C-alpha cells in the first residue's frame, strides 16, 4: 500500500470532513507519523477493532468505524437475519458515544434495526441485552483497559459472545471487501427514528440485568448476617461500573461501600492513572489509601468497561492489603461458587469448569476435587462463551464457572462475556460467607493453597510499538517455533504445544498429537516439576506476552520458584 498516496487521498477527497483534514495537515512534515497512520488499515480482528484515536486508515475514527460496520451489516444481511436487529453499547472513553452513534446510523441505513443504550453501560450488560432482546449481533465501543488515546469496537454474535468461527472469518471477509469509504451507508438520526429503526434502551434492560444477577446469590443469609460489618472499598476507575455495582450491592443489603471519589465519575482521560488497568498497582493507590482510612475488608476495582475485576484483600495478621492475581481471585470464586452449589443443591453429573490455556493449573485441581470436568480454551473469553454454546447445542455439559487469568470470570449464564459486576457481587458475598466463619478472603486463599497445592503463576509482557515492534514480535514467535529452547530456568521442556500448527509434541517419545483447539499463534512449553511457559502476541495491545506457572511445597517456596522463573523468562526474551 502506497501510504503517501493514501494520505493525499484523505486530504483531497471531499468525503472526509474538514476537521479530519486539519488534523492530517498538522502532520504533513512528519513522515514517520504519516506512515504509521496510512501504511496499513486498522485490522478488524477476531474481536473487532482496537487502535489509537485519530485520522487515517490505521486509526480509530468515524470512517474506520463506519467501514467495519458496513462489513458487519453485509454479513448480517447475507445471513438473512437483519430483522433481528443489533444492540449497541459504549463506555466512558473519548469518542465512544460518537462511534456508537455512527455504528447505529450505518446499520439503520442498511435497514437493520438498532437498540442503542442511552448512556454508557458495562460490556457484560451489552452481552445480556442482545440475548434479552433477541438480536443477531451486538457492538460495544470500548478499548477496555488500554491507555486514554485508544478506543475499540467489539463485535458480538447472537449467542452473546464476541464473534468466533465461522462468523469471525466471514465478517472479516465482508469488512475487507469494503474498499471505498464512499460506498459505506449512513443516514441521519431523525430519518432512522422516523423509519422505526433507531431504538434507545436503558432502564428496562438495567432492571432485568440487576434482577438476574441478584438471583445468582447463593448465601443471602450470610450477606444479611454481615451486611453491617463488612467494609468494601470500590473504584470504577472512571468507567462504567459505578452505577450498576453500587446498585446491586445496595439492593443486596451491603451497607458499608466506600467509593473512591477521585475515580468515581466517568472520564475518558483517566486522570488518576497512566492507564486504567486493574492489574496495575497504580490503579489501587487511591483505593488502598481509602481502605486504610476506613479499615476495609477488601478493595475492588473494575476496568472502564467493567468486564474485569481487580482485588486486594486484608490480611488481619499483618494488617496489610494483599493483591490477588486474576488466577487467585478466579480460583477463589470458582471454589466458593462450586463448593456452595454442591452443599446447597448438589452438582450435576456433567458439571464443567472452563479456563483458558494461560490460566493456572489450580483450576484442574479444583475440578478434580469436586469431580467435575475441566475444559481449556484459547485465550479470550469468547472461547469460553463458545464452549457454553456448544453445551447448549449438544445438550450435554452444564456450565458452572469460567475464568481467565486476566481478571475476568462469569458467574451464571446470563451473558457470554466476562462480567465484573456479578464478580464484584459474588466476591462480596464470599467475603460475607467467610466472615461468618471468622475468616478473611486471604484466609480463604491460604486454605485453597493448603487444599490444592501452592500454585504460583505470572506473566511477563514486553511492549513493542509501531511497525518495527510488530515485525519483532513475529520474529520472536518464528524463532521460538523453529528453534525452541531445551530448558528454561533449569527446568527441562518435556512437550511443546504449537497451537498454530495444531500439534503437541512429546519430546521424549517424539509422538505428535493434535491440540484440538482452533489455530492460533501460541506456543506452550510443558516442563518438569509441573512447570509451564506459554508465549503469545497480545490480541489487543502491541505486546508479546509470556505466561508461566510453578508449583511449590509452600507459599514461600512457590514465590521463590516463581521469581526464578520470571527472571529466566525475562532473560529468554531479552536474548532476542
Instruction: Tell me which residues are annotated as active site.
Output: 144
Strands (E), 181-317: 198-201, 231-235, 256-259, 298-302, 309-315
| CA angle, 238 then 244 then 249, to 5° | 115
Edge to edge, the sheet with strand 408-410 lists 373-377, 351-356, 398-404, 408-410
The rounded distance, in Å, linking the Cα atoms of 393 and 387 is 10
Residue from 517, 564, 524 nearest 545 by CA: 524
Strands (E), 162-317: 198-201, 231-235, 256-259, 298-302, 309-315
The rounded distance, in Å, linking the Cα atoms of 153 and 141 is 5
Q: What is the 3-state secondary structure (H, E, C) of 147-174?
A: CCCEEEEEEEECCCCECCCCHHHHHHHH
Grid cell of 98 as nine digits? 460518537
CB 380 within 8 A of CB 154: no
| CA 80, 82, 84, 90 torsion-angle sign | positive
Residue 533: which residues within 8 A CB-CB, separation 6 or more?
488, 524, 525, 527, 546, 547, 548, 565, 569
Phi first, then psi: what are they for 554, rounded to 5°? Answer: -155, 170
CB 500 within 8 A of CB 358: no
Residue 80: which residues within 8 A CB-CB, separation 6 or more?
none
The H-or-E segment that residue 251 falls in is helix 242-252
The rounded distance, in Å, linking the Cα atoms of 407 and 318 is 25
Edge to edge, the sheet with strand 198-201 lists 48-52, 150-157, 137-141, 86-90, 114-117, 198-201
The rounded distance, in Å, linking the Cα atoms of 240 and 262 is 15
CB 200 within 8 A of CB 100: no
Helix pair angle (326-345, 362-370), 10° resolution: 0
Question: What Cα–Cα distance (Å) separates residue 489 from each residue in 360, 372, 412, 531, 554?
Answer: 19, 34, 40, 10, 19
> Cβ–Cβ contacts within 10 Å for residue 510, how many?
7
Burial 460-480 (b: 16+ CB within 10 A, else e): bebebeeeeeeebbeebbeeb
Amino acid at each position: 500500500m502506497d501510504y503517501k498516496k493514501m494520505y493525499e487521498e484523505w486530504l483531497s477527497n471531499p468525503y472526509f470532513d474538514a476537521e479530519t483534514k486539519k488534523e492530517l495537515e498538522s502532520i504533513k512534515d512528519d513522515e514517520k507519523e504519516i506512515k504509521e497512520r496510512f501504511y496499513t488499515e486498522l485490522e478488524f480482528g477476531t474481536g473487532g477493532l482496537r487502535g489509537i484515536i485519530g485520522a487515517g486508515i490505521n486509526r480509530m475514527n468515524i470512517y474506520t468505524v463506519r467501514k467495519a460496520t458496513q462489513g458487519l451489516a453485509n454479513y448480517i444481511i447475507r445471513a438473512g437475519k437483519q430483522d433481528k436487529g443489533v444492540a449497541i453499547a459504549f463506555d466512558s472513553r473519548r469518542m465512544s458515544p460518537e462511534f456508537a452513534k455512527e455504528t447505529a446510523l450505518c446499520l439503520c441505513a442498511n435497514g437493520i434495526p438498532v437498540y442503542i443504550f442511552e448512556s454508557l453501560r458495562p460490556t457484560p450488560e451489552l452481552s445480556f441485552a442482545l440475548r434479552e432482546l433477541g438480536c443477531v449481533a451486538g457492538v460495544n465501543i470500548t478499548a477496555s483497559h488500554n491507555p486514554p488515546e485508544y478506543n475499540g469496537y467489539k463485535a458480538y454474535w447472537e449467542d452473546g459472545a464476541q464473534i468466533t468461527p465461522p462468523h469471525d472469518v466471514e465478517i472479516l471477509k465482508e469488512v475487507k471487501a469494503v474498499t471505498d469509504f464512499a460506498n459505506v451507508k449512513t443516514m441521519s438520526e431523525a430519518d432512522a427514528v422516523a423509519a422505526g429503526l433507531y431504538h434507545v434502551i436503558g432502564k428496562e434492560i438495567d432492571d432485568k440485568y440487576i434482577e438476574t444477577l441478584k438471583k445468582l446469590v447463593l448465601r443471602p443469609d450470610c450477606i444479611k448476617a454481615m451486611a453491617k460489618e463488612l467494609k468494601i472499598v470500590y473504584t470504577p476507575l472512571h468507567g462504567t461500573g459505578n452505577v450498576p455495582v453500587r446498585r446491586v450491592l445496595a439492593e443486596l443489603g451491603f451497607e458499608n461501600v466506600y467509593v473512591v471519589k477521585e475515580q468515581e465519575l466517568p472520564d475518558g482521560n483517566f486522570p488518576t492513572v497512566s492507564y486504567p488497568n486493574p492489574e496495575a498497582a497504580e490503579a489501587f493507590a487511591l483505593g488502598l489509601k481509602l481502605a486504610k482510612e476506613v479499615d476495609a475488608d477488601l478493595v475492588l476495582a473494575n476496568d472502564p468497561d467493567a468486564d474485569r475485576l481487580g482485588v486486594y484483600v486484608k490480611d488481619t495478621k499483618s494488617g496489610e492489603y494483599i493483591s490477588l492475581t486474576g488466577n487467585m481471585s478466579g480460583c477463589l470464586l470458582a471454589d466458593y461458587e462450586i463448593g456452595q452449589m454442591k452443599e446447597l443443591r448438589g452438582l450435576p453429573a456433567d458439571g464443567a469448569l472452563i479456563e483458558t490455556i494461560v490460566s493456572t493449573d489450580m483450576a484442574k485441581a479444583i475440578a478434580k476435587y469436586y469431580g467435575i470436568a475441566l475444559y481449556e480454551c484459547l485465550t479470550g473469553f469468547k472461547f469460553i462463551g463458545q464452549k457454553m454454546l456448544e453445551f447448549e447445542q449438544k445438550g450435554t455439559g452444564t456450565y458452572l464457572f469460567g475464568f481467565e487469568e486476566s481478571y475476568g470470570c462469569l458467574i451464571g449464564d446470563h451473558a457470554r462475556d466476562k462480567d465484573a459486576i456479578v464478580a464484584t457481587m459474588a466476591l462480596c458475598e464470599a467475603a460475607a460467607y467467610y466472615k461468618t466463619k471468622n475468616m478473611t478472603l486471604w484466609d480463604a486463599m491460604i486454605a485453597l493453597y493448603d487444599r490444592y497445592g501452592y500454585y504460583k503463576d505470572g506473566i511477563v509482557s514486553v511492549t513493542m510499538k509501531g511497525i518495527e515492534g510488530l515485525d519483532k514480535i513475529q520474529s520472536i514467535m518464528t524463532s521460538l517455533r523453529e528453534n525452541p529452547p531445551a530448558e528454561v530456568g533449569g527446568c527441562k521442556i518435556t512437550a511443546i504445544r504449537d497451537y498454530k500448527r495444531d500439534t503437541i509434541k512429546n519430546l521424549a517419545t517424539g509422538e505428535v498429537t493434535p491440540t484440538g483447539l482452533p489455530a492460533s499463534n501460541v506456543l506452550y512449553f510443558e516442563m518438569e516439576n509441573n512447570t509451564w511457559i506459554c508465549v503469545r502476541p497480545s490480541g489487543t495491545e502491541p505486546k508479546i506476552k509470556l505466561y508461566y506457572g510453578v508449583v511449590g511445597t509452600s507459599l514461600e517456596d512457590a514465590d521463590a520458584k516463581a521469581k526464578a522463573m520470571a527472571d529466566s523468562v525475562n532473560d529468554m526474551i531479552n536474548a532476542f
